[in-house]
Amino acid sequence: MLSIRNRLAALFFLITAFAVGVVYLYVTPQLQTSLREERQASLADSAARLSEPILDAVQSGVPRTDLEEAVAEVAQRAGARVTLLAVSPGAQTVRPLVDSSTGEEMKDADLEVAKRALDLGATATGAEPGDDGLIQAAEPLLVNGRITWVVLFTAQAEDVEAQVALIRRQILVAGGIALALALVISVLVARVITQRVRSIEQVAERVAAGDFSARFPTDAKDELGQLARVLDDMQRQLAELDSARKRFIATASHELRTPIFSVGGFLELLEDEDMDDETRRSFLRQVREQVDRLGKLATDLLDLSGLEAGSLELRPERCDIGLLAQVVTSEFVPALAAHDSRLEVRLGGPSIRAQCDPERVGQVLRILIDNALTHTPSGTDLVVTASRSHGKVRLAVRDSGQGIAAEALGRVFAPFYTSDGTQGSGLGLAIARELTERMRGSLAVDSEPGAHTTFTLELPVASPV
Ligand SMILES: Nc1ncnc2c1ncn2[C@@H]1O[C@H](COP(=O)(O)OP(=O)(O)OP(=O)(O)O)[C@@H](O)[C@H]1O
Ligand SMILES: [Mg+2]
């Protein structure tokens, strides 16, 4: 019942009905009044213009038949009943002398306008109210400065009424046609619109069912075309997300399968009872390494999915980044020694405070230092700098390693990206970037192959207490 088609049809119908109603109820009465006024004015005009021949006839004393003829001719030209009235000398009354109409005689009441013309000594007009009233104009005729006759022009208001009734009927007929047209057009327009909405809906249903090849009809320039374009954009993003998700799952399961197969293989070998102790220990060490790798992978995957789902809770607070850098770098003393590297911490001031979760900034810093040690040749030196500039707190990890090739720079933050493919699972930087973005900070990389690599973490400055 409340479909667009029905509502549009009802709306078109109501608007048209309203317009017809206004014309019928408001315009026609006005038209009626102005038609009556016009008729009255035209009678007055005829009275002034056409009375001349009658005056000539009565003055020259022509026979009555000639007078009657003159009156009849004037009546015909004026399109009205014409009555020549004689003014009784002295007594200010009038009485019909010659009448163009042979029908009903003029009543006394019908002579009021003529009497007024007599009193005024000028053209007088009048109209009786009602549908069957008379519309009259009277012209006094002067002979030697005295009014001797009055010519009375009379029209029936019924003539005007007939015209108005005709117009009313025509308005009703035209209104009826307009209403029918409005209904038909609105149904047609609504059908076109609903068909277009339906086709958008069908595509949306296919997309919802996972068919990303379905295309929205985006060629129209109007609002529905605009809607289709927005939906098309949304669908493209959904398709991208969907393929990213599939890629992520495929890579993650592949990453998990490799160490599991490897552990399975070693366990099978370990079942061999004739194995010497040295080989057994070596196999067990490899199994432990693979299990450690699996453990780290599982933790990283959980971290990343928690970050992406927004379920990982952060506790931002004012924290001293310089102090944090010193604490975290001190954890790497054994790793630095093994890598034959030196690490220098440079602080740009006594207390550099950022608004962040210290636990998570520590995690990011560990990921960066770990990379600077894992992906560089031994003996590579590291510099960790904490500073403050342009309203941001900056923490940079710089190594003088072999650097990252320009074409790989844009991809290092993508999950599972690794350049060597063997050392790690490629989740470290993806986690680091998600974490910084959650803390309203940013993580960027700058590298010159063969010279250095610098990862810079920017965090918002802590608000003053
Ligand atoms: N300091 C660096 N110097 C050179 N290459 C780097 C450096 N840091 C990162 N990379 C490159 O970026 C890739 C992605 O790093 P990321 O930390 O995300 O993964 P990963 O270290 O390979 O594995 P994971 O950290 O998950 O164990 C690395 O494989 C490496 O190729
Ligand atoms: Mg790493």
Ligand number with the minimum distance to the CA of 375: 1
Residue 241 Cα, ligand 1 centroid: separation in angstroms?
Answer: 24
For atom 27 of ligand 1, the residue with the nearest CA is: 424
User: By the 8 A CB rule, do 115 and 152 touch?
Assistant: no
C-alpha torsion angle, residues 307, 309, 313, 316 (rounded to 10):
60
Ligand number with the minimum distance to the CA of 419: 1
Atom number, ligand 1, closest to the C-alpha of residue 429: 18
The residue among 126, 123, 128 whose CA lies nearest residue 136 is 126
HEC secondary structure over 123-171: CEEEECCCCCCEEEEEEEEEECCEEEEEEEEEEEHHHHHHHHHHHHHHH
For atom 17 of ligand 1, the residue with the nearest CA is: 428
Residue 387 Cα, ligand 1 centroid: separation in angstroms?
Answer: 24
Q: What is the pLDDT, as a whole number, of residue 421?
A: 59
Query: What are the structural domains, with CATH classification, of the chain?
Result: 4-162 (3.30.450.20), 242-309 (1.10.287.130), 317-460 (3.30.565.10)
The residue among 261, 194, 184 whose CA lies nearest residue 224 is 194
Residue 423 Cα, ligand 1 centroid: separation in angstroms?
Answer: 9
Q: What is the pLDDT, as a whole number, of residue 422?
A: 60
CA–CA gap between residue 169 and residue 167 (Å, rounded): 5
CA–CA gap between residue 216 and residue 197 (Å, rounded): 11
CA–CA gap between residue 136 and residue 157 (Å, rounded): 10
Q: What is the pLDDT, as a whole number, of residue 390?
A: 87
Atom number, ligand 1, closest to the C-alpha of residue 423: 22
State which of 256, 364, 366, 375 you would mutate to test the pocket of ligand 1, scoring each by most atoms of that ligand within 8 A of its C-beta.
Answer: 375
Q: What is the pLDDT, as a whole number, of residue 140?
A: 92
State which of 289, 371, 431 you would mutate to test the pocket of ligand 1, scoring each by most atoms of that ligand within 8 A of its C-beta.
Answer: 371
User: By the 8 A CB rule, do 169 and 28 touch?
Assistant: no
CA–CA gap between residue 383 and residue 329 (Å, rounded): 10
Helix (H) or strand (E) holding 384: strand 382-389
DSSP 280-296: HHHHHHHHHHHHHHHHH
Q: What is the pLDDT, as a whole number, of residue 212?
A: 87
Q: What is the pLDDT, as a whole number, of residue 154?
A: 92
Helix (H) or strand (E) holding 118: helix 112-120
Other CB atoms within a 10 A radius of the CB of residue 137 amount to 29
Q: Would the CA dihedral through 298, 299, 304, 305 be positive or negative?
A: positive
User: What is the value of pTM for the model shown?
Assistant: 0.59
∠ Cα 369 374 376 (to 5°): 95
Tokens of 430: 């993806």
C-alpha torsion angle, residues 7, 13, 14, 17 (rounded to 10):
180
User: By the 8 A CB rule, do 321 and 459 touch?
Assistant: yes
Tokens of 379: 């003996």
Ligand 1 is surrounded, with C-beta below 6 A, by 300, 367, 371-372, 374-376, 399, 401, 404, 412, 417-420, 423-430, 453
* 234: three-class secondary structure by DSSP: helix
User: By the 8 A CB rule, do 85 and 152 touch?
Assistant: yes
Residue 392 Cα, ligand 1 centroid: separation in angstroms?
Answer: 25
Residue 366 Cα, ligand 2 centroid: separation in angstroms?
Answer: 9
Atom number, ligand 1, closest to the C-alpha of residue 296: 27
For atom 25 of ligand 1, the residue with the nearest CA is: 428
The residue among 264, 249, 346, 342 whose CA lies nearest residue 304 is 249
Give the length of the chain. Answer: 465
Atom number, ligand 1, closest to the C-alpha of residue 431: 18
Tokens of 425: 């699972």
Tokens of 410: 């844009």
Q: What is the pLDDT, as a whole number, of residue 57?
A: 87
Residue 417 Cα, ligand 2 centroid: separation in angstroms?
Answer: 10
State which of 383, 398, 412, 416 you would mutate to test the pocket of ligand 1, scoring each by most atoms of that ligand within 8 A of its C-beta.
Answer: 412
Q: Could you read off the pLDDT tens digit of each residue along the chain, which spans 465 residues?
A: 678 778 888 888 899 999 999 988 988 888 888 888 899 999 999 998 998 888 888 888 889 898 899 999 999 999 999 999 999 877 678 889 899 988 788 888 888 899 999 888 899 999 887 777 889 999 999 888 888 899 999 998 888 888 888 998 999 999 999 999 988 988 898 889 889 999 999 999 999 998 888 899 989 899 999 999 999 999 999 888 888 888 888 888 888 898 899 999 999 999 988 889 899 999 999 999 999 989 988 998 888 888 888 888 888 899 999 999 999 999 999 999 999 999 999 998 888 999 999 999 999 999 999 999 999 999 999 999 999 988 899 999 999 999 999 999 989 999 888 886 566 788 999 999 999 999 999 999 999 999 999 999 999 998 777
Other CB atoms within a 10 A radius of the CB of residue 108 amount to 10
The residue among 62, 38, 22, 249 whose CA lies nearest residue 137 is 38
CA–CA gap between residue 93 and residue 86 (Å, rounded): 8
For atom 6 of ligand 1, the residue with the nearest CA is: 375
